[in-house]
């Protein structure tokens, strides 16, 4: 079975290197075909591995040694078990779809070949991230996906905002990575190894304080990659990248890496429930916080980006509360419907000449019915309406919160679910129904290529039916992950389900009704709360004023004042003093005999004084 592992892992990088050869040349469809083919190949191999793992196989492969120094010995090692194989299948599936979709989306872009190089490189990094058998291997993938994300956000590098957003994403992730690196260092000096297997085998015998610290440091890394508060601003700005990138990297796969890390290290996090509680609390906060910003935003992609943030919060709640399999389940279903939502948004953007303001659309249903249906499916799945995928995964998270007695968390998530329903259907209504504003603005929208729609179909189907695999999924992954026991009565659980579903459906209906009637009045938009939300709680502004600008000013100060004015000036001053004293004392050597005699007397006096008064230490 090892060959499947290698095919799954290395097929994408082969594709990436292949299309790298074409980057400096004109658009060539062969790059897209080859990369798509290899990604599908990787997907099929992952699927084969999934069935093999289901039959009880666990693959553990060690390649060559990578770094060895001191007592450190770090090989490239890969593991395919019940957790990583789920990620592999999800990643390769979504990336194959996105790659095929991009053949249509990027068809007229001058960076066509470059785009496919990056996407395949991303998939390779992501697979390294999920398949590695040790923390540093994960970190390789972690940084690799960061690089690809940077390259793809700034894909249209001629746009100032795009290259700025790329830098922001990379640097902000680096801040969090430092925390993660510190966690890795601590792991090494505690356990003498980075391998998951050995670390988790001994984690129980280590001082709890140390485990807590490791957990917190790793979580800081996870916060960066998964854009949790306060590192969340890069994700919304990352929407500068091409939309397929947003679907793949900034919704379905990379941003869930933080959740994956917590799940992967669940053996460690289980021992320190306090850290889990912090994770869950922060997740809850982000779930509501991000959803609130989505309520008022008018940017098609940013709304979905905030929604992603919010859903990542849900996943962290599950992971923090110890319901690791539920977190993984939501991660998977979310990957399906969120990428579908983004790709649908991409269709709209193409139809609308890259217009993103949803208030300028309206009534697009007539022009692009298939996209509308797919997005509606994705939205109901996101809201968690029975029988769509989100219903099962999200309800399980709410149930887990209630079950653990964390009623505040439950209630916040409950409200969050309502907000999700509102912003999702606000988007659907404003884009697809109501007045055809776009006509006045002179747009001529049209449905996208049929093959693109066909490529989206698998995601549509999975968004609809994936929820029914809940039981087999649980059984499958809990062979590795801890089981999560629901202790509450079945009737309570059912009651909760009805309560949440009823609430969500109520909000959906109300939203549809309200927007069918023409929406909210303009007056609301002057309310302070509205402005607060619209400006993202002024946090980007705050970062700009409190961090970026002072750092630049301080840097200028360090250079102009400290380096030039003080340090270098002192160095030159010493040189000048030496030079000047030489210049001055040169006058002594005037050649005038009486001057010389006077100096000689001075010299004799000094020597005498020394001879008389100086007593060397004995």
Partner 1 sequence: MEHILSIIVFFPLVAVFFGFVISKESIKTFGITVAVVEFLLSIVLWIGFDTSNAGFQFVEYFPLISQFGVSYYLGVDGISLFLVILSTFMTLISLIGLNIKKDIKNLVITILFLEMTLVGVFLSLDMILFYIFWELSLIPMLYIIGAWGSGQRVYAAIKFFLYTFAGSALMLVGILYLGYQYFLATGTWSFSVPDWHLLVLPFNMQLWLFGAFFLAFAVKVPMFPFHTWLPYAHGQAPTIGSVLLAAVMLKMGTYAFIRFSLPLFPDASYYFLYPVATIAIIMVIYAAMVAYAQEDMKQVIAYSSISHMGIIIIGTFAMNAEGLTGAIFLMLSHGIVSGALFMLVGVIYDRRHTKMINEFGGLATVMPRYAAIFGVMMMAAVGLPLTIGFVGEFLSLLGFYRVSWLMTLFAGTGIILGAVYMLVLFKKAFFGKVTKDENAELKDLDKREFTALIPLVALVVILGVYPKPILSTIDMSVKKMINLMEKKALLPSTKEFLIRVNHTGGKK
The site for partner 1 (CB under 8 A) is made up of: 23-24, 64-72, 136, 139-140, 143-144, 147, 150, 154, 157-158, 160, 163-164, 166-167, 170-171, 174-175, 177-178, 181-182, 184-186, 188-192, 205-207, 210, 551-552, 554-556, 558-560, 562-563, 567-568, 571, 575
Q: Give the residue among 333, 365, 423 at the shortest CA–CA distance from 93.
A: 333
Q: Give the residue among 258, 250, 195 at the shortest CA–CA distance from 226.
A: 258
Residue 207 CB, shortest distance to partner 1, in Å, is 5
Residue 204 CB, shortest distance to partner 1, in Å, is 11
CB closer to partner 1 out of 152 and 304: 152
CB closer to partner 1 out of 163 and 281: 163
Residue 375 CB, shortest distance to partner 1, in Å, is 33
Distance CA 311, CA 338 (A): 10
Distance CA 391, CA 389 (A): 5
**389 touches 335 (CB < 8 A):** no
Residue 148: beta bridge partners?
none
CB closer to partner 1 out of 143 and 395: 143
CB closer to partner 1 out of 65 and 544: 65
Q: Given phi > 0 = left and psi -120 to 50 = alpha, else beta, which region is 357?
A: beta
Distance of CA 95 to the CA centre of its chain: 16
The H-or-E segment that residue 60 falls in is strand 59-69
Whether a cis peptide bond, with omega within 30° of 0, leads into 387 is yes
Residue 570 token pair: 């002192």
CB closer to partner 1 out of 31 and 347: 31
CB closer to partner 1 out of 454 and 559: 559
Residue 206 CB, shortest distance to partner 1, in Å, is 7
The H-or-E segment that residue 78 falls in is strand 72-80
CB closer to partner 1 out of 23 and 212: 23
**313 touches 287 (CB < 8 A):** yes
| Residue given tokens 């300028």 in the structure block | 360
**226 touches 256 (CB < 8 A):** yes
- What is the full DSSP assignment across 340-379? HHHHHHHHHHHHTTT--BGGG---TTTT-HHHHHHHHHHH
Residue 551 CB, shortest distance to partner 1, in Å, is 8
CB closer to partner 1 out of 468 and 551: 551
Residue 416 CB, shortest distance to partner 1, in Å, is 32
SS3 helix, strand, coil % of the chain, rounded to 5? 80, 5, 20
Residue 458 CB, shortest distance to partner 1, in Å, is 32
Residue 175 CB, shortest distance to partner 1, in Å, is 5
Residue 466 CB, shortest distance to partner 1, in Å, is 33
**496 touches 399 (CB < 8 A):** yes
CB closer to partner 1 out of 204 and 502: 204
């Amino acid at each position: 079975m090892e060959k499947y592992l290698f095919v799954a892992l290395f097929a994408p990088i082969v594709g990436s290197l292949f299309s790298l050869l074409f980057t400096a040349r004109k658009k060539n469809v062969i790059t897209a075909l080859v990369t798509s083919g290899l990604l599908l190949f990787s997907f099929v191999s992952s699927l084969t591995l999934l069935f093999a793992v289901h039959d009880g196989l666990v693959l553990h492969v060690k390649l060559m040694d990578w770094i060895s120094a001191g007592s450190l010995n770090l090989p490239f090692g890969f593991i395919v078990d019940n957790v990583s194989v789920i990620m592999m299948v999800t990643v390769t599936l979504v990336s194959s779809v996105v790659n095929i979709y991009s053949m249509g989306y990027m068809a007229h872009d001058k960076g066509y070949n470059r785009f496919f190089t990056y996407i395949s490189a991303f998939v390779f990094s992501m697979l390294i991230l999920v398949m590695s058998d040790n923390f540093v291997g994960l970190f390789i993938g972690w940084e690799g996906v960061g690089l690809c994300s940077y390259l793809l956000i700034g894909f249209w590098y001629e746009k100032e905002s795009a290259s700025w957003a790329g830098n922001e994403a990379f640097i902000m992730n680096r801040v969090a990575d430092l925390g993660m690196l510190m966690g890795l260092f601590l792991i090494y000096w505690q356990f003498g190894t980075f391998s998951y297997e050995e670390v988790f085998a001994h984690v129980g015998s280590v001082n709890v304080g140390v485990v807590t610290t490791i957990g917190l440091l790793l979580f800081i890394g996870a916060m960066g990659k998964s854009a949790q508060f306060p590192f969340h601003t890069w994700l919304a700005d990352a929407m500068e990248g091409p939309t397929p990138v947003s679907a793949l990297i900034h919704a379905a796969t990379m941003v869930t890496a933080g959740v994956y890390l917590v799940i992967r290290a669940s053996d460690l996090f289980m021992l320190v429930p306090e850290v889990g509680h912090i994770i869950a609390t922060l997740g809850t906060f982000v779930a509501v916080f991000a959803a609130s910003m989505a309520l008022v935003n008018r940017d098609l992609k940013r709304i979905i980006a905030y929604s992603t943030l919010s859903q990542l919060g849900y996943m962290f709640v599950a992971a923090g509360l110890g319901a690791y399999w539920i977190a993984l389940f939501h991660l998977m279903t979310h990957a399906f419907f969120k990428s579908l939502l983004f790709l649908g948004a991409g269709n709209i953007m193409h139809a609308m000449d890259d217009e993103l303001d949803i208030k300028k659309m309206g009534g697009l249903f007539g022009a692009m019915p298939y996209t509308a249906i797919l997005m509606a499916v994705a939205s109901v799945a996101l809201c968690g309406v029975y029988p769509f995928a989100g219903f099962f995964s999200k309800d399980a998270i709410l149930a887990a919160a209630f079950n653990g007695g964390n009623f505040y968390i439950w209630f916040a998530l409950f409200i969050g679910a309502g907000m999700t329903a509102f912003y999702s259907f606000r988007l659907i209504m404003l884009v697809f129904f109501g007045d055809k504003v776009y006509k006045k603005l002179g747009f001529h929208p049209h449905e996208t290529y049929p093959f693109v729609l066909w490529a989206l179909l698998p995601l549509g189907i999975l968004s609809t039916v994936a929820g029914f695999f809940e039981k087999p999924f649980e059984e499958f992954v809990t062979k590795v992950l801890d089981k999560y026991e629901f202790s509450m009565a079945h009737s309570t659980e059912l009651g909760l389900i009805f309560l949440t579903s009823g609430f969500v459906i109520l909000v959906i209906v109300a939203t549809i009704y309200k927007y069918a009637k023409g929406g909210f009045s303009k007056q609301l938009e002057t309310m302070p709360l509205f402005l607060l939300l619209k400006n993202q709680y002024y946090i980007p502004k705050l970062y700009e004023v409190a961090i970026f600008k002072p750092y630049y000013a301080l840097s200028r100060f360090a250079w102009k004042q400290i380096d030039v004015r003080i340090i270098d000036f002192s160095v030159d001053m010493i040189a000048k003093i030496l030079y000047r004293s030489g210049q001055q004392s040169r006058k002594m050597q005037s050649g005038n005999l009486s001057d010389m005699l006077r100096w000689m007397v001075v010299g004799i006096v000094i020597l005498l004084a020394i001879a008389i008064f100086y007593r060397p230490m004995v």
